[in-house]
């Protein structure tokens, strides 16, 4: 597991005026493993799926209260990329943030992009 202690404070705006924070190099993310980052006071779990797509969700597990989603088990259910929390194994969609075990519960999702080989996440 790769852990990023804190994302750089610098950010840029794109055409949609999002503020992007650099997390790590794309190649630093191991497929189907998570990395945790702190972006402007928010803990974010970043994942690289087996097909190369990137996903970012809140790192807070709403069931256990711990910040551990980045340490979850990544896979797919059908075609949907998911992460199972390490504490109680609830499964969350990496696309929508919805809990597949309890549809009333969700984690926030964040846009990702790769710029010059660097993974960036926007929490705004």
Q: Give the long-range contacts of residues 2-10, CB within 8 A, separation 24 or more.
A: 2/28, 2/29, 2/30, 2/33, 2/35, 3/35, 3/36, 3/70, 4/35, 4/36, 4/37, 4/38, 5/38, 6/37, 6/38, 7/37, 7/38, 7/39, 7/40, 7/121
User: Which secondary structure element, helix H or strand E, spans residue 18, and what is its range?
Assistant: none
Average pLDDT, the chain: 89
Predicted TM-score (pTM) of this structure:
0.85
In a domain, 33, yes or no: yes
Whether 41 has a pLDDT exceeding 80, the answer reads: yes
The residue assigned the tokens 């190369």 is 52
Q: How far is CA 82 from the centre of its chain?
A: 11
Which whole number is the average pLDDT over 91-100?
Answer: 98
Tally of structural domains, the chain: 1
Residue pLDDT, tens place only, 64-86: 999 999 999 999 999 999 999 99
Domain extent at residue 71: 2-8+19-121
Q: In what helix (H) or strand (E) does residue 49 lie, and over which residues does it extend?
A: none
Instruction: Decide if 87 is inside a domain.
Output: yes
| Distance (Å, whole) CA 112 – CA 17 | 14
pLDDT of 39 strictly over 70: yes
Kindly report the CATH number assigned to the domain that includes residue 115: 2.102.10.10
**13 located within any domain:** no
The percent of residues above 70 in pLDDT, for the chain, comes to 87
Q: What pLDDT shows up at residue 17?
A: 82
Is pLDDT above 50 for 9?
Answer: no
If we measure between CA atoms, which residue out of 14, 37, 13 comes closest to residue 25?
37
pLDDT score for 124 = 85
């Amino acid at each position: 597991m790769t852990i990023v202690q804190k994302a750089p404070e610098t950010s840029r705006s794109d055409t949609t005026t999002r503020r992007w924070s650099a997390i790590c190099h794309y190649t630093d993310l191991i497929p189907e493993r998570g990395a945790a980052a702190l972006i402007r006071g928010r803990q974010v779990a970043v994942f690289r799926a087996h097909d190369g797509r990137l996903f970012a969700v809140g790192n807070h597990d709403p069931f256990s209260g711990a910040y551990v989603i980045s340490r979850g088990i990544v896979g797919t259910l059908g075609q949907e990329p998911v992460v199972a929390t390490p504490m109680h194994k609830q499964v969350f969609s990496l696309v929508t943030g919805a809990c597949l075990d309890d549809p009333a519960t969700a984690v926030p999702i964040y846009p990702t992009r790769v710029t010059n080989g660097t993974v960036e996440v926007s929490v705004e």
